[in-house]
Amino acid sequence: MICEILSVGTELLMGQIANTDAQYLSRRLSEYGVNVYRHTVVGDNPERVKLALNEALSRSDMVITTGGLGPTEDDLTKEMVGEYFGLPMELHQPSLDALTERMTRLHPHRKMTANNLKQAYFPKGALVLPNSRGTAPGCVVEAEGKSVAVLPGPPRELTAMFDESLEPYLREKTGLVIHSRFLSIFGVGESTVESILEDLFHLGSPTLALYCGPAEVQARLTVCLPVGEDPAPILDPVADQIQRRLGPSLYAQGRDASMARTVLSMLRERGEALCTAESCTGGLLSARLVEIPGASAVFTHGFVTYTPAAKQSVLGVPQDILEGPGPVSAPCARAMAEGALAASGADYALSVTGYAGPEGGTPEDPVGTVYIGLARKGGSLVKQFRFLGDRDWVRTLACVHALNMLREHLLDV
């Protein structure tokens, strides 16, 4: 099946918001063997929407639209789909009942305005897709051998509608599921990974592809099978082969894998706790940790000591270090980690101090220089890194390298 994603919204064309809906849909559609060849974005203009729909359907079996389902005058996606197929708009009573109940529950003392009623009208014969997170249901229209799925624009509404309603529809339509296994690799470049795994790119099934991220590479194994067939006998042997070849550089498997999730899981299994002491990352390292549900079982403290005075008063960094080697130095990173460990009572402390740029740096330690400290009961260590890139990139790399330092330590003890 060939599908095109048609995103409706002038705000997308003006750059007010990013089109994360299309990214999400492409990823999910690939799981069902649906080929996405084009993303199209069009503004809230009826004629341009209809023209874009006509062009998309001329080259695709299915079109998924996003946006234009609200109550206002420029929300006309459903209407344009109905007009394209020559289908009149009809009231869907269950949708009106659900809309009325939701509006009454959210605004018990406010009368629902008449323009909200348009959200309960659909092209005749459409399969209505309930919206569990909003007021605008979606729908699927099948006509002339084509399918058009009309989904809402807000991402939280769209993802829920896909999971709850469109996914079962696609599963029945295609009879196929594409299974993917994601393997996260740290500290080995893409070209090196490719050379190590060279023969595995030519297996036929599963297929192998590589993608780059901050200081890491993600390998994706993919196989397409009929619904209900177990992919493990095909994916497991190849994943095991990759693990053997890459060793501890392959640090996790799974779509949602991350260095932070991996480190938290390792600490949780050991019943140990972690704290952080940050300067140039300004709390970003702590944020990476607390983004993971259940982090409170492991993460105890996050100290952000951005100035020399804060490093001294909060973490006890000695004055002679601040005035001698300076706040961006190996001795300071070590003292920050040891001070955080003592103040928190955690089992491990990670510290980060450096020059993220664009200003700062010295001839010896230019912008991009970062010192990362790791303190634990019985000792501490510091590593120096030189990162290339802008301020955000340096901070991002500092965080992932700090977490990897702890991961490597936990693998050795």
For the chain, domains (ranges, CATH) are 2-174 (3.40.980.10), 178-253 (3.30.70.2860), 264-412 (3.90.950.20)
The distance from CA 393 to its chain's CA centroid, rounded to whole angstroms, is 17
- Each of the 413 residues of the chain gets a pLDDT tens digit; together they read 899 999 999 999 999 999 999 999 999 998 888 999 999 999 999 999 999 999 999 999 999 999 999 898 888 999 999 999 999 999 999 999 999 998 888 788 888 888 889 999 999 999 999 999 999 999 999 999 999 999 999 999 999 999 999 999 998 888 888 899 999 999 999 999 999 999 999 999 999 999 998 889 999 999 999 988 999 999 999 999 999 999 999 999 998 899 999 999 999 999 999 999 999 999 999 999 999 999 999 999 999 999 999 999 999 999 999 999 999 999 999 999 999 999 999 999 999 999 999 999 999 999 999 999 999 998 999 999 999 999 999 999 999 999 999 999 999 97
Q: Among all chains, which residue has been given the structure tokens 């230019």? A: 366
**129 forms bridges with which residues in the sheet?**
138
Q: Report pLDDT for 351.
A: 98
Residue 354 tokens read as 């450096």
Q: Strands 138-143 and 35-42, how do they pair?
A: unpaired
Q: Strands 176-186 and 216-226, how do they pair?
A: antiparallel
Distance (Å, whole) CA 39 – CA 365: 45
357 touches 390 (CB < 8 A)? yes
**147 forms bridges with which residues in the sheet?**
62, 142
223 touches 205 (CB < 8 A)? yes
User: What is residue 407's three-state secondary structure?
Assistant: helix
Does residue 94 have a cis peptide bond before it, meaning omega lies within 30 degrees of 0? Answer: no
The whole-model pTM stands at 0.79
Phi/psi region, residue 38 (left: phi>0; alpha: psi -120 to 50; beta: rest), is beta
Count of CA atoms in the C-beta half-sphere (13 A) of 413 = 14
119 touches 99 (CB < 8 A)? yes
User: What is residue 228's three-state secondary structure?
Assistant: coil
